[in-house]
Amino acid sequence: MGHGDGRGRMVSAADADDTGTRILHVDMDAFYAAVEVLDDPSLRGLPLIIGSPDGRSVVSSASYEARRYGVRSAMPVSQALRLCPTARVVPPHFPRYQAVSRQVMAIFESFTPLVEPLSVDEAFLDVQGVRRLWGSPARIAAQIRERVSAEVGITCSVGVAETKHVAKMASTIAKPDGMLVVSAAETLDFLAPRSVRALWGVGPKAAEALEARGIRTIGDIRATTADMLDRAVGPALSARLAQLSWGRDARAVDTERVEKSIGHEETFDVDVDDRAFLRAELLRLADRVGARLRRAGWETSTVSIKIRFADFRTVTRSQTLSDPTAVSQRIGEAAQTLFEQIDRRDPIRLVGVRAERLQPAGGSALALWDDDEDWRRVEGAVDEAIARFGTATISRARHIGRGEGRGAARHPKDHGIAD
């Protein structure tokens, strides 16, 4: 796989054989940083860190110039600046990224209706049914790259393959600003030397378990018995890896793909041990999660929280609700209950609330008595006020004055989709 900074990059020739392919994986190159350069050309060629320049925020994205110093997403900005002291720190502009994303997705959809967005900056496309209109998959990929560059002003990398898994691997290797085509006949040879860490579903622990048994490449997986794979990673993952190692991936491009979760996190300027403040902060985050659920027409079946302590140890807890809901009060109560179940009382640097297992609102049977009727009315009025006057106009009384006090949270991270 690529190194994330352009090292190990491989691209295909213009006349590459794309026989047997149908799936494209298109991924924007350092998307947030690219949009910032698009809006401010004086930043071009500089090592850029997208994040808050003060406090203890984390890196949202980084330009390839910064990545070559070891800067990575989710790294504390302070650590990133130690690695690359000359980097320019630029605050994120999420509404702008969403707007550019809509431009990019519209280009994809002008080629095929079978588009599966994975996030704001990447998507799978199935182009099998539009070959007569636009040409072969490799030709379609080339046209997409040309149009994204000409019409949006940023670059993308594209993997072309028979399956989603191989296409995503190919786009990663082609970064930045490249295209890699893997024909059906070349798939096994392409996969064989790649690290097991490149396989879908292999995290650090699974990789360590495989490598401890001398299973380091995808080719090694093919040569390993099913029993040994089972002992290394368990039967379920073992069976999936065996299929992927032979280039088999039955997943189709899913145009009905929906958000898996909606969440908000806050990183504090100073470590916080005030339990009352933390409980109120969880409720404030739940208000934001609930509002987004209602705007999108979803309800959540599971609430989870994330707590990161001062020593960076992170714990998560989740709770399945008795009934799906988009009521912020219910989400907040669940989050606070989960928080109280964490025994550790050390200072905390980050808290997060997430709604998971989403489903369309109103999909469950209605009860004869709605315990949340009053809360729905109140929160509906709040939603209307915010829609008319903005988010700064209304807040729970318990939140007033929190923004400038001890432990004030100044560095939010919005997560609309968790993959």
- Enumerate long-range contacts of 376-384, CB under 8 Å, 24 or more apart: 376/327, 379/290, 379/291, 379/294, 379/327, 379/328, 379/329, 380/294, 382/291, 383/291, 383/294, 383/295
Which DSSP letter does residue 120 get?
T
Amino acid, res. 131: R
Q: Is 274 annotated as a binding residue?
A: no
Q: State which amino acid sits at residue 91.
A: P
Of 71, 212, 265, which Cα lies nearest the Cα of 204? 212
The residue from 36, 65, 116, 122 that is catalytic is 122
Amino acid letter at 364? S
The C-alpha atoms of residue 353 and residue 412 are separated, in whole angstroms, by 12
Residue 246: strand, helix, or coil: coil
* Cα–Cα distance measured from residue 93 to residue 29, given in angstroms and rounded to the nearest whole number: 17
Distance of CA 103 to the CA centre of its chain: 19
Coil vs helix vs strand at 22:
coil
Q: What value, to the nearest 5°, has the Cα angle with vertex 251 and ends 237 and 295?
A: 100
Is 27 labelled as part of a ligand binding site? yes
Which of 81, 94, 122 has its CA nearest to residue 35?
94
**Residue keyed to tokens 């403040």:** 277
Dig out the tokens for 193 from the structure.
Answer: 């030397």
Pair 309, 349: CB distance under 8 Å:
yes
Q: Does residue 116 have an active-site annotation?
A: no
Long-range CB contact pairs, 108-113, < 8 A, 24+: 108/26, 108/144, 111/140, 111/143, 111/144, 112/140, 113/255
Cis status of the peptide bond prior to 47, with omega within 30 of 0 = no
CA atoms of 257 and 355, how far apart (whole Å): 17
Task: Give yes or no for a contact between 285 and 307, defined as CB atoms under 8 angstroms apart.
Answer: no
Which residues are the active-site residues?
A: 122
Q: What are the binding residues for Mg(2+)?
A: 27, 121
